[in-house]
Structure 1
């Protein structure tokens, strides 16, 4: 599972880091981190896909969100027994605390 999470998170971190650094032109002397390279990459992708280069970042963001939801769904499915036990335990403790609160209120309001 750890390898799965690493293989999911590493490309997102690399892409996000490159995007942020190149968008704000923090290049540290590396051409790939310049704003010129940033615009060139999105222009090439836009030409290949036949869409406007400005529409690519929101599409990538939506893809990352969908992938993240799928990864969390897989994780939840794999740990569904632990999650169900935690849910039952929290529901039971909340019912007990509400019953105790009701009992305390009824005792304090009795003459």
Structure 2
């Protein structure tokens, strides 16, 4: 009976380790996706009116940071990126949940768990 308990402990420890390793990878993928979309779509170098507005504001005194926050928020709204954000997060969330289910299924397979004891 104790052998079973030890095996269950190993499986639990492996599950925790795998889940802890998986979350940062998914967060990085999500951040990279946002960055790519921001760079290529929302703040594209080809969007001249936005960049001209930013350049014209440079060096005109106090309030620059606040103006930049407003310009960027406006640009995000113009490009309807707010609508995309929810969908991107939802997709990554379900991918992450799928990966957790896969990890758990692998760990429930006793051969997998026993062959991967740290």
TM exceeding 0.5: no
TM range (shorter): 0.3 to 0.5
Structure 2 length as normaliser, TM-score?
0.42
Which structure would you say has the larger RCO, counting Cα contacts within 8 Å and 6 or more residues apart?
2
Structure 1 length as normaliser, TM-score?
0.44
